[in-house]
Amino acid sequence: MTAADERIAQEAAAWALRLGAGKAGAGPAGLDAWLAADPRHGAALDAMRTTLRSVRALPRPAVAGLRGALAAAAPAPPFMPRRGRLLQAGCAMLTLLVAGGAWLGWDHERRQPTFAASYATARGQQLTQALPDGSTVTLDTATRIEVRLYRDRRDVFLHDGQALFAVRAEPARPFHVSAGTARVTVLGTRFAVRHTRAGLQPDVALVAVEEGRVRVRAGAAEEAELGAGQAISAAGDGRLGAPASMAPQALAPWRQGRISFNNTPLAQALAEFERYGHTGLVVRDPAVAAMRVGGSYTVRQLPAFAAALPAILPVRLVVRAGHTEIVALKK
């Protein structure tokens, strides 16, 4: 920027601040005379007023930080009163922003999502949703997610439930999924994430990879990298489990309407069925709730599952008003 350009920028900043404050300085004639003096003045004033609007839209902490960085702001234009120190600092701020490519306005814009949406499924419902970046996400029953796409990253928050992600590769814009204490980072891959408040392993985040590689971080320090055919869990306290091998058909079996149990407490198995629909089954005895079950079932096989319980566990079914209670066999 030449000395003449700098002078014009400073004068334009002063006029922009005065107009923004509802003051016309020496009066409309003064502004008109300044605009008429040089064809560059109008463009400079427009740029300063645009930048001023961007600055006023910034959060207060960002503006305060910029003021600190401008402690040694440039001196005011000759016509600016000495008493206008605030105007002088603002003038320097606007001049620096425009001269530097309005970096702060750009940074603020970069921090705003280009796309934001929330998706949810009701009990018994599933949903496949295409995202603007070319990725897709499939939500299982009773699942809630929040999606925010930025210029430099893509963020998804899994609040409850489980989802399968097919991520379009964008090396310059990583894809993050946060679930419980886990944060999954990928560039392009296909993986599933689960974090539920009820059902199998409540409050534990589960990550399973079908294609590509993902990085899973839990808490502040623990981190692991997974490849295709691997899965990992992150406990509610931030502890990360060891990566484990996973059969291909074990990835998101809910896509085929199936749920699988492996030495699962009966209470968790029933809670998992409840995610898909009302079971009408009740367990009040903690000892019965802790009994273990296994097997693979379709979500519509609850009656068969309930009928089989007396054959695989020391329990009986007692039909009561409005529900069926699972009770222990009397010794």
Confidence of residue 84 (pLDDT cuts 50, 70, 90): very low
Tell me the C-alpha to C-alpha distance, in Å, between residue 122 and each of 144, 277, 281.
Answer: 9, 10, 20
CA 127 to chain centroid: 19
Tell me the C-alpha to C-alpha distance, in Å, between residue 246 and each of 94, 204, 231, 250, 330.
Answer: 57, 17, 6, 6, 40
- Among 61-75, 106-120, 205-219, which range has the highest average pLDDT? 205-219
Domains in the chain and their CATH numbers? 3-110 (no CATH), 115-249 (2.60.120.1440), 257-328 (3.55.50.30)
CB 52 within 8 A of CB 20: yes
Tens-digit pLDDT profile for residues 123-178? 989 999 999 999 999 999 999 999 999 988 999 999 999 999 999 999 889 999 99
Q: Tell me the whole-structure pTM to 2 decimals.
A: 0.63
Q: Which of 264, 279, 259 is nearest to 312 (CA)?
A: 264
DSSP strand E in 212-302: where? 214-218, 222-226, 230-234, 244-245, 258-265, 281-282, 292-298
C-alpha span between 230 and 175 (Å, rounded): 19
Tens-digit pLDDT profile for residues 270-329? 999 988 888 889 999 999 999 999 888 888 878 888 888 998 899 999 998 888 999 998
**pLDDT reported for residue 137:** 97
What residue has token string 């990550």? 207
> Mean pLDDT in the chain?
80
**pLDDT reported for residue 159:** 93
**3-state secondary structure at position 185:** strand
77-93 b/e (C-beta count within 10 Å ≥ 16 → b)? beebeeeeeebbbbbbb
| Residue 144 identity | R
Average pLDDT over residues 81-105: 50
pLDDT at 12 over 90: no
Residue 143 tokens read as 């699942």
175-179 and 154-166 beta bridge pairing: parallel
Residue 186 tokens read as 């990928």
Percent of the chain whose pLDDT exceeds 70: 77
**pLDDT reported for residue 56:** 62
